């Protein structure tokens, strides 16, 4: 029995409390969110505005020249609906001089450069705004590694990382996101007509179920096949999760001393607060 239904009221209570507490105890009262025009970043922005008040949230739109007009407009809908502060900072002038030197760079390389340029802006603006960067990565993309390391995955805290895309959609509905955002297909918008599901080769609805069995319910791959999923699909998902684990952990430090960061120097980030 695979049921990914969540109680959205409870999720909202826990996640807004998380954002407020973790930002406040770090000595801040404000948040910065990169708004792509998509569902995930819109949800993060809604939660941050609810947690901190819209005047304490800075939403950044960072279009590239090939970004769709829809993305910009949908991000503006979120800004208007919430009354958060906003800035639009195109990244084209930042990334073009670099990419022009490497005309052979393919879409993945170009997409990574764009994602990392946005990270630079988010962190720089967070410094001047006096806020922390609130992340937008969901559990599905974290597990699949469908993210750019030190790019869109970079953040100070992530309220969405334990919700599968399917569950995030439920939360988005409950939060009352604009219909245009709820309805459109998920896309990284790194090139024209890109969609997540087209690039991944499967739908979120399907992969979320397999991930839920593998990760949450601790099914073996064989048991997933017995539960009705094709063996090729299950193998593909298992391998993706394994291969991308490096994106989910800090870089390993070579141990030399008796006490080493990451192994036996263990403190929470909330240490002392």
Residue ranges binding other proteins (CB under 8 A): 3, 5-7, 9-11, 13-14, 17-18, 21-22, 162, 264-273
| Residue among 180 and 253 whose Cβ is closer to other proteins | 253
Of 96, 76, 81, nearest to 36 by C-alpha is: 76
| Residue among 2 and 205 whose Cβ is closer to other proteins | 2
- Beta strand residue intervals within 47-114, DSSP E: 57-61, 85-88
Of 265, 258, 263, 211, nearest to 233 by C-alpha is: 211
Residue 13 Cβ, how far from other proteins at the closest point, in Å? 6
First to last CA, the chain: 41
Residue 129 Cβ, how far from other proteins at the closest point, in Å? 23
Residue 19 Cβ, how far from other proteins at the closest point, in Å? 10
| Residue among 230 and 273 whose Cβ is closer to other proteins | 273
Residue 206 Cβ, how far from other proteins at the closest point, in Å? 20
| Residue among 127 and 270 whose Cβ is closer to other proteins | 270
- Residues 112, 104: Cα–Cα separation, whole Å: 14
Q: Could you tell me the sign of the dihedral formed by the alpha carbons of 147, 152, 153, 159, in that order? A: negative
| Residue among 157 and 190 whose Cβ is closer to other proteins | 157
Render the burial of 57-88: b for 16+ CB within 10 Å, e for the rest.
bbbbbbbbeebbeebbebbbbbbebbebbbee
Residue 7 Cβ, how far from other proteins at the closest point, in Å? 5
């Amino acid at each position: 029995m695979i049921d990914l239904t969540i109680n959205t009221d409870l999720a909202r209570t826990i996640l807004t409390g998380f954002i407020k507490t973790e930002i406040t105890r770090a000595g801040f009262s404000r948040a910065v969110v990169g708004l792509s025009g998509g569902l995930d970043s819109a949800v993060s922005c809604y939660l941050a505005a609810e947690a901190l008040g819209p005047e304490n949230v800075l939403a950044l739109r960072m279009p590239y020249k090939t970004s769709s007009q829809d993305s910009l407009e949908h991000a503006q809908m979120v800004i208007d609906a919430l009354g958060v502060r906003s800035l639009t900072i195109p990244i084209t002038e930042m990334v073009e001089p670099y990419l022009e030197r490497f005309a052979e760079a393919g879409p993945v390389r170009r997409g990574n450069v764009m994602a990392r340029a946005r990270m630079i802006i988010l962190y720089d603006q967070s410094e001047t705004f006096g806020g922390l960067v609130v992340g937008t990565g969901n559990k599905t993309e974290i597990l699949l590694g469908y993210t750019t390391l030190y790019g869109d995955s970079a953040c100070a805290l992530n309220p969405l990382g334990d919700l599968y895309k399917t569950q995030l959609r439920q939360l988005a509905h409950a939060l009352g996101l604009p219909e245009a955002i709820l309805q459109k297909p998920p896309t990284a918008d790194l090139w024209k007509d890109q969609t997540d599901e087209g690039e991944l080769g499967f739908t979120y609805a399907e992969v979320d179920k397999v991930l839920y069995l593998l990760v949450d319910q601790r099914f073996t791959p064989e048991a997933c096949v017995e539960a009705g999923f094709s063996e090729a699909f299950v193998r593909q998902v298992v391998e993706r999760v394994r291969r991308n684990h490096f994106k989910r952990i800090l870089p390993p430090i070579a141990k030399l001393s008796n006490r080493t960061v990451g192994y036996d120097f263990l403190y929470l980030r909330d240490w002392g607060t």
